Amino acid sequence: MSDGLPVPVTITRVAQESPGVSTIFFDHVFSAKPGQFVMVWVVGTDEIPMALSYPNAVTVQRVGEATAALVSMKPGDKIGIRGPFGNGFALQGRILAIAGGVGTAPLLRIGLEYPDVTFLLGARTADELIFQSILSSACEVRVATDDGSAGFHGYVAGLLDEIDLDEYETIVVCGPDPMMRSVLSVLENRNAIGKSQFSMHRYMKCGVGLCGSCCIDPDGVCVCKDGPVFSGPMLLQSELGKYHRNAAGLKEK
């Protein structure tokens, strides 16, 4: 981990994964567990939390000023990286990974580096599926798209109807909050929630639990310090899928 100051890194390659998502590779390898995150400093714009999709890369969805600046960068440009921070996934036995959209990034290394992984990959359309090809070369991949343009027609949680959850010792999940709430409900109903872990994303300023901007209700735990990975049972009564808080701390559905 860095000593609290950003490590300057040089961008070596930018790979477009889908129309709205790019992977930014840089010239420094970070030692991190799958699921940990870093704070990415885009000079002159902002510092934002991002999962490490590879030890030397972050995968970015263009959603605001900082991410727009990041995906427009070229090889040779410099950014700052603090971290890694937070906890990673506790992985054992046969693993079921469930990802939606850019939420595939925190789970990517699990599919590439761990044996006996089944990967459920969801997106709105076929064009928005990311990492399908590279994951398919390393593990079993099943696909769902909201519009039916690839794989199962429906939300990725629908793929769980085809899965015998008793065959898996670890279930890891990352994606948009409504998608994760749907998966959480299915796992609860099928008595598999105890072996599930969810990677949460919230607005962050410091990354080390000082500012409180990423606290989640009702327990007040910080996603940056106490997460970003939480057990399924811990999230049952949480705000997940109901609302989150914006930069001003106000609730947003």
Instruction: Please give the full DSSP string across 6-62, using - where no structure is assigned.
Output: PEEEEEEEEEEEETTEEEEEES------TT-EEEEEETTTEEEEEEEEETTEEEEE-
10 Å CB burial of residue 220 (0-12, 13-18, 19+) is exposed
Pairing of strands 170-174, 95-100: parallel
pTM of the model as a whole: 0.94
Query: Per-residue pLDDT for the chain (253 aa), expressed as one digit of tens each?
Result: 455 789 999 999 999 999 999 999 999 999 999 999 999 999 888 999 999 999 999 999 988 899 999 999 999 999 999 999 999 999 999 999 999 999 999 999 999 999 999 999 999 999 999 999 999 999 999 999 999 999 999 999 999 999 999 999 999 999 999 999 999 999 999 999 999 999 999 888 788 888 888 999 898 899 999 999 999 999 999 989 888 888 778 888 8
